[in-house]
Amino acid sequence: MTEVGWDADPEVARWQGLPALSENLRADVCVVGLGGSGLAAIGEVLRRGLSVVGVDAGRVAAGAAGRNGGFLLAGPAIGIHQAGARWDSEAALELYRQTVIEITDLAGLLGPEVVRQVGSLRIAGLPGDPVDEAEEADRQVELADCERQYDFMRQHGIKVERYDGELGTGLFLPEDAAMNPARRALGLAARYAGDARLFENSPVTAISEGRVQTPGGAVSAGLVVVAVDGRLEVLLPELAGRVRTARLQMLATEPVRPGRLPCPIYGRWGYDYAQQDAAGRVFAGGGRDQFTEQEWTAQAVPTEGVQAWIERVAARFAGDPVVVSHRWAASVGYTEDGRPVVTEARPGVVACGGYNGTGNVVGPIAARAAVALGLDGTAPAACFSS
């Protein structure tokens, strides 16, 4: 029951794996982390014609990159209208534009079998009738916020539609997409493995200027890119206070009514979310706000209380009782203002992370910004914390 539901996909199960680092190597760039952002950094280094070595503590995408909800959402982690007010409207809008391009490019690269361009739904509350007066009151407040988001997006020419249907009331975002996150990462790793030297099961024990140490060997490089979201402040303690690791939990169910969820859907301010695959299985997550202090942890182990909450959430999304087949957890990084971190952590060492639970699209953009910072000295855009 603690296996990751995404890994049951036959394409993921067929992954042959990569070797562990067992010698000392030299490259122009060393990338730490083989998730979505790390693989994007590797792709960018290869595009520049440079040599690159990538290492990961476990399997490709064994961390949050392969354990998240599989949502490909345009824009920042917080609502685009909230980011516009908290940061700067142009910074928020520029990130939105970049993420739309990223989704389209990823769909073209991996194809419709991996990336389904079906949009997403934001609803107020959860599907079904409110269970009590407090839920009804919160739903009304969220409905008003959906209207503010709608107005902001329309004002700035971003595609959005009002939604009122079987699943609830809220917004349809047509430029979003869905995927199996493990298939996405493994597909990219397979593409890059012929040109980059990639190593699994090679945990980093030390990072210094020009050198990454693992139990089996070291990598010497002119630039080190640390593209790790959860536990980033453990690898680079100087980022403690800027990035904080939290646990996100999910589950998968046995098939329910196929087509119940036509696209990824998130509700209750984005705290709870789900999508459904073609066979009818529901992949649901959330509940972190119900157990806030408990979930500020680097322990990626499911807990009874959060899982019980998600099981009820899954039933609300499914519209029927559910039978759980898999339960899992992942570590992700959060920042105070919702902006991901792209920064030079040490001389010759740049880092990106702190995606606030939505790194599938923002992560690759941040990773390329980190490569540009390290190789060119290009300052990150205002949507990133440098």
Q: Where are the domains of the chain?
A: 5-68+181-242+337-376, 117-178+244-334
d(CA 248, CA 68) in angstroms, rounded, equals: 8
Say which residues have a Cβ less than 8 Å from residue 155's Cβ, sequence separation at least 6.
Answer: none
Following DSSP, what letter does each residue of 191-209 receive, concatenated?
A: HHTTTSEEESS----EEET
pLDDT value of position 331 = 96
What is the pLDDT tens value at each position of the chain, 386 positions in all? Answer: 568 999 999 999 999 999 999 999 999 999 999 999 999 999 999 999 999 999 999 999 989 999 999 999 999 999 999 999 999 899 999 999 999 999 999 999 999 999 999 999 999 999 999 999 999 999 999 999 999 999 999 999 999 999 999 999 999 999 999 999 999 999 999 999 999 999 999 999 999 999 999 999 999 999 999 999 999 999 999 999 999 999 999 999 999 999 999 999 999 999 999 999 999 999 999 999 999 999 999 999 999 999 999 999 999 999 999 999 999 999 999 999 999 999 999 999 999 999 999 999 999 999 999 999 999 999 999 999 99
Structure tokens at 176: 């979003």
Helix axis angle, 89-110 to 181-192, nearest 10°: 70
DSSP character at residue 149? H
Cβ atoms of 121 and 163 closer than 8 Å = yes
Taking residue 76's Cβ as centre, other Cβ atoms within 10 Å add up to 27
Phi, then psi, of 129 in degrees rounded to 5: -70, 145
Q: Which two tokens stand for residue 194?
A: 């012929």
Whole-number Å distance between alpha carbons of 367 and 5? 27
Overall pTM > 0.85: yes
DSSP letter, residue 240: B
Composition of the chain by helix, strand, coil, percent to 5:
35, 25, 40
Distance CA 358, CA 10 (A): 25
Question: What single string gives the DSSP state of each residue in 319-334?
Answer: TS---EEEEEEEEEEE
Please name the fold of domain 117-178+244-334. Answer: D-Amino Acid Oxidase; Chain A, domain 2 (3.30.9)
- 5-68+181-242+337-376, which class in CATH? alpha beta
- Indicate the burial class of 107 (C-beta count within 10 angstroms; 0-12, 13-18, 19 or more): middle
Closest alpha carbon to 201 in 22, 2, 40: 22
> Measuring CA to CA, which residue among 275, 292, 293 is closest to residue 283?
275
